[in-house]
């Protein structure tokens, strides 16, 4: 095989990326598990057309994941492998930390309120990502904008935090209604 020059785009790379087959395998396994669970999660509605059946579109999309994953895996299995598969998998696992951050945020909203939780979440993530100084203030401003836009502007119903119960009467109403 011929090595591509660095100044040309790598439209058709000649080697596998680290973790490519691992990713395809994991994606296909998850899609197969979801396909197997489809009869227990959906129903067949008598008298409805095929396109109106609840399990048709999920089955087609999951079948597409399996089919195209299989085609991708078969087309890439004979290509020269680039080492680093398990290091790449480690990067994927480390990124799951951010799911934990989000779950903590969701759990904090009913306790400390949408405003405080959103400000803490945005600034905490900015600090976690290594930003300091002005960028942390921008993250806090973004958090405030999100709260004002969704809770005050769009009137989205988000449960008030338990901490708001300790505020004086008129302030408590404002906090529960707008923040």
Q: Does residue 144 belong to any structural domain of this protein?
A: yes
Query: CA angle at residue 33 from 105 to 84, to 5 degrees?
Result: 70
Is the pLDDT confidence value at 12 over 80?
Answer: no
Both 78 and 141 in a single domain?
no
pLDDT tens per residue, range 82-135: 788 788 888 888 999 999 999 999 999 999 999 999 999 999 999 999 999 999
Query: CA angle at residue 112 from 121 to 146, to 5 degrees?
Result: 45
To 10 degrees, the CA torsion angle through 75, 81, 87, 92?
-10
Both 56 and 119 in a single domain?
no
Q: Does residue 89 belong to any structural domain of this protein?
A: yes
Both 105 and 56 in a single domain?
no
Q: Does residue 1 belong to any structural domain of this protein?
A: no
Q: Does residue 8 belong to any structural domain of this protein?
A: no
Q: Does residue 7 belong to any structural domain of this protein?
A: no
Q: Are 83 and 133 in contact (CB under 8 A)?
A: no
- The last residue of one of the domains, among 74, 94, 114, is 94
Range of the domain at 119: 96-178
- The last residue of one of the domains, among 94, 128, 154, is 94
Q: Are 129 and 156 in contact (CB under 8 A)?
A: no
Q: How many domains does the chain have?
A: 2
Q: What are phi and psi of 7, to 5 degrees?
A: -85, -5
Q: Does residue 5 belong to any structural domain of this protein?
A: no
To 10 degrees, the CA torsion angle through 48, 50, 53, 59?
170
Q: Which of residues 7 and 164 earns the better pLDDT score?
A: 164
Both 29 and 103 in a single domain?
no
Is the pLDDT confidence value at 1 over 50?
Answer: no
Q: Does residue 143 belong to any structural domain of this protein?
A: yes
Q: Does residue 77 belong to any structural domain of this protein?
A: yes
- 97 exposure class (CB count in 10 Å sphere: 0-12, 13-18, 19+): exposed
- Does the pTM exceed 0.75? no
3-state secondary structure of 29: helix
pLDDT tens per residue, range 69-95: 999 888 887 777 778 878 888 888 899
């Amino acid at each position: 095989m011929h090595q591509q020059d660095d100044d040309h785009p790598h439209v058709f790379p000649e080697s596998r990326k680290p973790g490519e087959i691992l990713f395809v395998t994991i994606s296909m396994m998850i899609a197969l598990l979801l396909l197997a669970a489809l009869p227990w999660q959906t129903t067949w509605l008598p008298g409805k057309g095929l396109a109106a059946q609840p399990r048709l579109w999920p089955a087609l999309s999951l079948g597409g994941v399996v089919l195209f994953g299989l085609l991708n895996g078969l087309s890439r299995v004979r290509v020269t492998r680039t080492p680093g598969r398990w290091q790449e998998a480690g990067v994927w696992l480390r990124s799951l930390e951010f799911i934990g951050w989000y779950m903590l945020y969701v759990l904090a909203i009913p306790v400390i309120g949408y405003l405080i939780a959103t400000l803490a979440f945005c600034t905490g993530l900015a600090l976690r990502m290594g930003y300091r100084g002005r960028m942390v203030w921008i993250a806090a401003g973004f958090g405030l904008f999100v709260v004002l836009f969704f809770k005050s502007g769009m009137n989205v119903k988000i449960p008030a935090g338990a901490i708001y119960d300790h505020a004086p009467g008129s302030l408590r109403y404002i906090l529960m209604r707008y923040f």
